[in-house]
């Protein structure tokens, strides 16, 4: 039994301790991230928490020069852009995350299919330590 | 053969809109009044507002943009329509077409005969960073926004997946912007009344006036490829790939088909309608198209008994240039992976085989989010009546399609309208 429950906030509690979790349907085998109490494929209510390896490949990306307020507060702007993307995890499902250590000056050189490894970003925001999912080249 | 399950048909007997733009001196009420006046002007028979039985408002977020929730009864009252039923519907940027579809279903059910539909958004009163935050609430705020995604970012990510999958040339995106600005420049309701060429020449003139070296852009593409003229927003989406932040309102009057001629000598008919939903971007079956759009389109074609070849013009949701290219494939105008070539070859221009966004689209006409889906019908109304002025399509178009997307593709509504002679 995983120490994490299937409820929504547990995803972030797990991330806080460096774990990437999702769920697996005990009836049809569908793997989901974040975790689901109801299987989105067969509607089964028999699902359990599974840990993801944190490995994947870049499926889509962008380099953002006009950030939202939170990312601007973290220091990003037109002169200091950041990369965010969609990652296909080795277990199958995809997830959104910031992508680190990319050639931001030449976004056209960033390669879809690049092997990635999970990384964790910790940012202090309004006095609270928040954890964010990120990936970097494997 | 039409396969409509609706109990009765629905007709549009009037369609109008306010000018789109940034109007610090106007409120939402002014925009709704302006749209209502324009709707009445569009009708060839006088409208008795007492005949209106219900009011549907498509609006994304008056509560966040204007700190005003519960807006439908307030606006109905402002138009003198109390005590009729007044309902606001919200599905992000698709709110306008969702309102039309819900109003049409209410008529088809037999509950109402005459329904007024408004689309509305007043966005420009907030600072741009606040506007970005508000728009972000249309995405998954738990799992997408914290990753750092913005709306241009979602479409930019789809653009990279699309370019990778099909080897698309980034200039195809710019060609969409150039075309839509050309169309918008001929639309007096559009936020941007300039072509890219006019904007480029104006920028050059400004540089000279300020004593700076004159930029050397000789073509629109040279200008759009230069980050000094056209800065990055979310690569590969640049400033000129993005629709603007806008204020605006639009309206249509829907009636049951059997009553249409009482209200207008020249109604148009809603003959196909579809709507579908989807999860956040990573959950979708593809990143190079919008599955909800394809599904909504199929429903609408099936109901109308038509195929994409029967569509004379389409107003599609080009919130970003890549969105128009994906829409042209999701709706079946071009095969998968061919939409970018079609855009570069001029096939979606007014002279092309599949004219798209003759109004200028969201890109040039403006994108007051809740109003966009209703304003699309205003263009279809004009084109089907042959009153679109300098941007009028030749050969008397008879069938027009609207495609309105919410968020990055979580909602899509496709409606098909027909003129009958």
pLDDT for residue B421: 85
Structure tokens at B38: 């324009």
Query: What would the mean pLDDT of B283-291 be, rounded to a whole number?
Result: 97
Q: By the 8 A CB rule, do A32 and A92 touch?
A: no
The whole-angstrom separation of Cα B366 and Cα B256 is: 31
Residues of B designated catalytic: 93, 367
> Most B CBs within 10 Å: which of A20, A74, A87, A96, as the mutation test of the B interface?
A96
Structure tokens at A132: 């964010």
Tell me how far apart the alpha carbons of residues A48 and B268 are, in angstroms, rounded to a whole number.
Answer: 53
- Write out pLDDT tens, residues B35-92: 999 999 999 999 999 999 999 999 999 999 999 999 999 999 999 999 999 999 999 9
Which are the contacts of B279, defined by CB distance < 8 A and separation ≥ 6?
A40, B410
- Inter-chain CB proximity B157 and A86 less than 8 Å: yes
Q: Above 70 in pLDDT, residue B267?
A: yes
Q: Which two tokens stand for residue A69?
A: 């307020």
Query: In what side-by-side order are the strands of the sheet with B54-58?
Result: B85-89, B54-58, B114-122, B247-256, B10-17, B268-277, B411-419, B399-406, B313-315
| Contacts of residue B249, Cβ cutoff 8 Å, sequence gap at least 6 | B17, B18, B28, B31, B32, B34, B35, B118, B119, B120, B368, B371
Chain A contact present for B145, CB below 8 A: yes
Residues facing B274 on adjacent strands: B414
- A64: contact with B, CB 8 A cutoff: yes
> Domain A55-137 class?
mainly beta
Contact B37, B55 (CB under 8 A): no
A107 touches chain B (CB under 8 A): yes
- Lookup: tokens for B259: 């009553």
Residues 6+ apart with CB under 8 A from B201: none
What chain A residue is nearest to B136 in terms of C-alpha separation? Answer: A68
Looking at the partner chain, which of A72, A86, A98 has a beta carbon nearest the beta carbon of B282?
A86
Integer Cα distance of B333 and B347 in angstroms: 10
B171-184 helix and B196-209 helix, angle to the nearest 10 degrees: 90
User: How many A-B residue pairs are in contact by the CB < 8 A criterion?
Assistant: 106
Q: Would you mind telling me the total number of residues written for chain B in this entry?
A: 421
Report pLDDT for B129: 81
Give A66-89 pLDDT, tens digit per residue.
998 889 999 999 999 999 999 999
Average pLDDT, chain A: 96
Q: What is the pLDDT of residues B216-238, one digit of tens each?
A: 999 999 999 999 999 999 999 99
* Residue B283 burial (CB count, 10 A): 16
pLDDT at B239 over 80: yes
Select the residue of B133, B231, B281 nearest A86 (Cβ to Cβ). B281
Q: Best residue in A86, A94, A107 to probe B by mutation, most B CBs within 10 Å?
A: A86
Cα B393 from Cα B350, distance rounded (Å): 6
What integer pLDDT is reported at residue B1 of this predicted model? 67
Sequence-distant (6+) residues with CB within 8 A of A134 are A97, A98, A99, A100, A118, A119, A120, A121
**B295 vs B299: CA distance, rounded Å:** 6
pLDDT in tens, B371-416: 999 999 999 999 999 999 999 999 999 999 999 999 999 999 999 9
pLDDT at B325: 98
Cis peptide before B223 (omega within 30 of 0): no
Is the Cβ of B149 closer than 8 Å to some Cβ of chain A? Answer: yes
Residue B282 has pLDDT above 70, yes or no: yes
Where would I find the H helices in B26-94? 28-42, 62-65, 71-78
> Residue A67: its chain B contacts at CB < 8 A?
148, 150
Record the tokens describing residue B313, joined without a space.
């013009």
Which whole number is the average pLDDT over A107-112?
A: 97
Residue in chain B nearest A41 by alpha carbon: B283
pLDDT reported for residue A2: 78
User: Is residue A67 within 8 Å of A60, Cβ to Cβ?
Assistant: no
Q: Is B235 at the interface with chain A, CB within 8 A? A: yes
**What CA–CA distance (Å, rounded) separates A8 from B142?**
10
Q: Which residue among A34, A65, A113 sits closest to B231, beta carbon to beta carbon?
A: A65
Whole-number Å distance between alpha carbons of B389 and B186: 8
CB B349 within 8 A of CB B313: no
A23: which 2 tokens? 């769920």
- By the CB < 8 Å criterion, does B239 face chain A? no
pLDDT at A69: 87
Name all contacts of B32-37 with Cβ < 8 Å and 24+ positions apart: B32/B75, B32/B78, B32/B79, B32/B118, B32/B120, B32/B249, B32/B251, B33/B78, B33/B79, B34/B249, B35/B118, B35/B120, B35/B249, B35/B250, B35/B251, B36/B79, B36/B118, B36/B251
Give the pairing of strands A55-64 and B232-235.
antiparallel
> Which of B265, B291, B288 is CA-nearest to residue B278?
B291
Which residue would you say has higher pLDDT here, B60 or B133? B60
Measured CA angle at B196 (ends B195, B202), to 5 deg: 95
Question: Nearest CA to CA, how far is B276 from chain A (Å)?
Answer: 16
Nearest chain B residue (CA) to A135: B147
pLDDT value at residue B295: 98
Instruction: Tell me which chain A residue has its CA closest to the CA of residue B160.
Output: A60
Residues 6+ apart with CB under 8 A from B387: none
Contact yes or no for B85/B224 (Cβ under 8 A)? no
Question: How does strand B54-58 pair with strand B114-122?
Answer: parallel
- CB-based contacts of B3: which residues, under 8 Å, 6+ apart? B302, B303, B305
pLDDT band per the 50, 70, 90 thresholds, residue A1: low
Listed by number, the residues of chain B in 262-281 with a beta carbon closer than 8 Å to a beta carbon of chain A are: 279-281
DSSP code, position B67:
S
**Domain definitions of chain A by residue range:** 10-51, 55-137
Residue A133 β-bridge partners: A120
pLDDT over 80 at B2, yes or no: no
Which string of DSSP letters, residue by residue, matches B128-188? HHHHHHHHHTTS-TTTTTTTT--HHHHHHHHHHHHHHHH---THHHHHHHHHHHHHHTT-T
**pLDDT tier, B310 (very low <50, low <70, confident <90, very high otherwise):** very high
| CA–CA distance, B40 with B164 (Å, rounded to integer) | 48
Q: Are B257 and B269 in contact (CB under 8 A)?
A: yes
At residue A20, the pLDDT reads: 97
Tokens representing B275 are 């709507």
Average pLDDT, chain B: 97
Q: Do B143 and A96 touch (CB under 8 A)?
A: yes
């Amino acid at each position: 039994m995983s120490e994490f429950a299937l409820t929504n906030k547990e995803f972030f509690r797990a991330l806080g301790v460096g774990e990437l979790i999702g769920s697996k349907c005990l009836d049809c085998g569908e793997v989901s991230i974040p975790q689901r109490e109801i299987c989105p494929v067969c509607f089964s209510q028999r699902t359990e928490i599974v840990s993801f390896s944190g490995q994947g490949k870049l499926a889509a990306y962008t380099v953002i020069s006009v950030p939202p307020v939170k990312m601007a507060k973290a220091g990003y702007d037109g002169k200091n852009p950041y990369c965010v993307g969609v990652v296909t995890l080795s277990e199958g499902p995809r997830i959104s995350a910031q992508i680190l250590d990319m050639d931001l000056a030449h976004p056209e050189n960033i390669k879809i299919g690049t092997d990635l490894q999970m990384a964790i970003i910790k940012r202090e925001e309004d006095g609270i330590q928040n954890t964010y999912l990120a990936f970097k080249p494997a | 053969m039409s396969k409509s399950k609706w109990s009765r048909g629905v007709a549009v007997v009037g369609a109008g809109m306010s000018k789109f733009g940034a109007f610090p001196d106007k409120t939402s009420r002014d925009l709704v009044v302006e749209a209502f006046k324009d709707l009445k002007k569009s009708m060839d028979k006088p409208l008795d507002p007492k005949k209106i039985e219900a009011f549907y408002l498509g609006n994304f977020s008056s509560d966040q943009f204007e700190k005003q929730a519960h807006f439908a009864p307030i606006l109905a009252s402002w138009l003198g329509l109390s005590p009729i039923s007044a309902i606001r519907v919200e599905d992000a940027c698709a709110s306008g077409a969702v309102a039309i579809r819900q109003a049409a279903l209410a008529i088809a059910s037999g509950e109402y005969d005459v329904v007024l539909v408004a689309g509305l958004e007043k966005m420009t009163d907030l600072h741009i960073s606040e506007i970005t935050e508000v728009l972000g609430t249309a995405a998954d705020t738990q799992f997408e926004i914290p990753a750092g995604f913005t709306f241009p970012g979602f479409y930019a990510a789809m653009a990279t997946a699309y370019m990778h999958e099909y080897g698309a040339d980034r200039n195809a995106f710019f060609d969409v912007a150039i075309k839509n600005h050309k169309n918008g420049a001929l639309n007096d309701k559009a936020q941007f009344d300039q072509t890219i060429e006019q904007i480029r020449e104006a920028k050059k003139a400004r540089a000279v006036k300020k004593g700076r070296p004159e930029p050397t852009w000789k073509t629109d593409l040279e200008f759009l490829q230069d980050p000094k003229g056209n800065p990055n927003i979310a690569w590969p989406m640049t400033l000129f790939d993005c629709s603007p932040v806008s204020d605006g309102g639009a309206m249509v009057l829907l009636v049951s088909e059997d009553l249409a001629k009482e209200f207008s000598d020249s109604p148009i008919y809603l003959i196909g309608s579809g709507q579908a939903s989807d999860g956040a971007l990573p959950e979708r079956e593809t990143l190079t198209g919008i599955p909800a759009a394809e599904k909504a389109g199929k429903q609408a074609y099936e109901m109308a008994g038509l195929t994409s070849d029967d569509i004379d013009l389409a107003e599609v949701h080009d919130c970003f240039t890549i969105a128009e290219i994906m829409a042209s494939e999701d709706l079946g105008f071009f095969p998968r992976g061919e939409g970018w070539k079609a855009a570069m070859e001029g096939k979606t221009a007014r002279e092309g085989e599949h004219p798209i966004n003759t109004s200028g689209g969201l890109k040039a006409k403006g994108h007051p989010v809740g109003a966009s889906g209703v304003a699309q019908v205003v263009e279809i109304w004009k084109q089907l009546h042959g009153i679109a002025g300098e941007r009028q399509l030749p050969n008397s178009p008879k069938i027009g399609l609207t495609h309105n997307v919410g968020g990055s593709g979580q909602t899509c509504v496709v409606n098909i309208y027909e003129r009958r002679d």
